[in-house]
Amino acid sequence: MAAVDAARARAQAVLRVRGLALAVAALPAALAVVLLAGRITGRLGAPGSADSAGWDAVRWVVCAVAAVTLLAAYLVARAHARAVPPRTPAVPVEPADAPELYRLINELAERLEVPAPAAIALTPDCDSWLEDAHPRLGVFARRPADPPAPVLVIGSPFLWWMRAGELRALLAPVVAGTAAAVDPEIAAARRFVRSLDAALGEPHRGPAGLLVGRVTRTLLSACREHSAELERAVAGWASDQAKAVDYGLRIAAQEQVGLAYAGWDRLLTRVALPAWRLGRHPAHLDAGVVAALTELSRRDRLADGYESRLGDRPACDLLEEPGEMDAAVSLLAAELFFGDPPGPARDWQELDWDDYPAQVADRGWRVQAAALQAALDGPGSSPGSRTPAGPTLTRLLARLADGDGEPLAVALSSHLARTAPVAPPLQPARSGRDLLVEHVAATVCCAVLDTGIATPGLDWLDGPVLLIGGVRRSDLAIAVAQAVEQGKDAPLRAWLEAAGVRLERPVRL
């Protein structure tokens, strides 16, 4: 109860800031009304009295101040009423789509003695939280005495990687937070702070905009510490409440959170990103998380005990149609983490994992090889006069051996900047040399595929890979790096000759 009282005390402090702001805005107008009423009744500077001139001057000044204050308050209130607190897009889960999941959450809320969430949604991220069901409210807007319960947003990778019992233990502290979310004072304080944050993020221009920004920053500064302490108190109370529910299992579930995050991050940056660049979105990213973490367990033993967990029911079984839900979340992930698909169609094409080698690995390498050839052929790509056009690999290796790696990297970077200006936020900006290494490797993969001795493949942790005789050749990366970074083309030439690649043969683009 101490944590609850502390949270309410902080909420009251935030609301006092709101009340003080309202009082400051209304005080000059109230004083002006008193002065005007005093003149009408003859009690304060009645007409013809000795002090009437002085009181008239005071009245004019106070009325002017009141008018300016009311105008400023109106501008601030209008800006805040238009501001919308940010919401992370999520896929709604209707009760008919997941009756067992709703039953699990409702039983959990009943055991915690807190209100059940109003709805459930899935987000393509490794996190879970409570979302206000009605975010668009002005700073000084009021709600009924009983705020509605929030929406429970669940990270979709958790559903596919975790077992049902682990998910229940993981969500216990989150669901416990619904008690604070429906508390009138805490809900009003949170709404006030979130609206201020949203208003500050809106563009404000001109003198009115400067005024709105200054007032908003002043209010935020006044209640920021109280808001932080409020959230800490609520989190502490929710954690204490959840200890009574599967506490031992929650420790194990937290370990799975780290694994899920590692697999999800690797899947997005290494596997999904190459597909997104081609305008295709893998339709079952969450199922890919399971495959990636299983492979990670096999290689690095980071998920010891995974086999023993297979006997437990996976949390995704709580959904009626896991595949359809996975497809919806996967499309949302592409839209959130990449943006609009490239190309004139401006529409995502759904991709099945079975088609990944041909549609992403092979096609992606061809696109990169074409970009590298354009850099080879482009003006300014060579410090001297150009060589006659010839087979790509022969020209490429000759340029690298001559020490032209840096100019070629610059030409490639310029070409990519013109043809693919969108930089996905998932991956930091890469240097020209890194891009050159990647494109040289893609060109080599195309040449090897053209011989018919190799096939494109999918590695759940690394994305597109080259398979020769069904085996991944990891030594190619070392030979390419030596050629690009050191100008030593002999190892790469030897690798190509061993693979049966004729250097004089053009690469099919």
Lowest mean pLDDT among 166-175, 223-232, 328-337, 500-509: 500-509
Residue with tokens 């020490």, as numbered in its chain: 403
* DSSP β-ladder status, 454-459 and 471-472: unpaired
Q: Is the pLDDT of residue 233 over 80?
A: yes
Q: How far apart are alpha carbons 3 and 369 in whole angstroms?
A: 61
Band (11; pLDDT cuts 50, 70, 90)? very high
- Contact between 162 and 315 under an 8 Å Cβ cutoff? The reply is yes
* 432-450 vs 490-498: helix crossing angle, rounded to 10: 20
- The rounded mean pLDDT for the chain is 88
The residue-averaged pLDDT of 310-320 equals 89
Mean pLDDT throughout 433-447?
Answer: 95
Alpha carbon 305 to chain centroid, angstroms: 30
Q: What is the pLDDT of residues 15-53, one digit of tens each?
A: 999 999 999 999 999 999 998 888 888 777 777 676 778
Strands 129-131 and 119-123: unpaired
| Confidence (pLDDT) at 422 | 58
Residues 191 and 135: beta-carbon distance below 8 Å:
no
Confidence check: pLDDT of 257 > 60: yes
Asked whether the beta carbons of 343 and 136 are under 8 A apart, the reply is no
Q: Which amino acid is at 480?
A: V
Alpha helix segments (H runs only) across 453-489: 475-486
Mean per-residue pLDDT for 296-323? 78
- pTM passes above 0.85: yes
Does the CA dihedral 78-82-85-86 come out positive or negative? negative
508: number of Cβ within 10 Å? 11
Reference 90, options 155, 137, 148; nearest CA is 155
C-alpha 489/C-alpha 483 separation (Å) is: 5
Q: Are the C-beta atoms of 116 and 149 separated by less than 8 Å? A: yes
Euclidean distance between CA atoms 33 and 178, whole angstroms:
44
CA distance 199 to 217: 10
For residue 159, report the phi and psi dihedrals to the nearest 5 degrees. Answer: -65, -35
| Chain length of the chain | 509
pLDDT confidence bin for 4, thresholds 50/70/90: confident
Residues 460 and 268: their CA atoms lie apart, in Å, by 10
pLDDT tens track for 371-421: 999 998 876 544 443 474 456 898 899 999 998 889 999 999 999 988 875
Token pair, residue 352, equals 């099945």
Q: Output the pLDDT for position 119.
A: 96
**DSSP H or E segment with residue 310:** none
User: Which DSSP helix (H) or strand (E) runs through 349?
Assistant: strand 349-351
Eight-state DSSP code of residue 402:
T
Instruction: Name the residue among 182, 193, 178 with its Cα closest to residue 230.
Output: 193
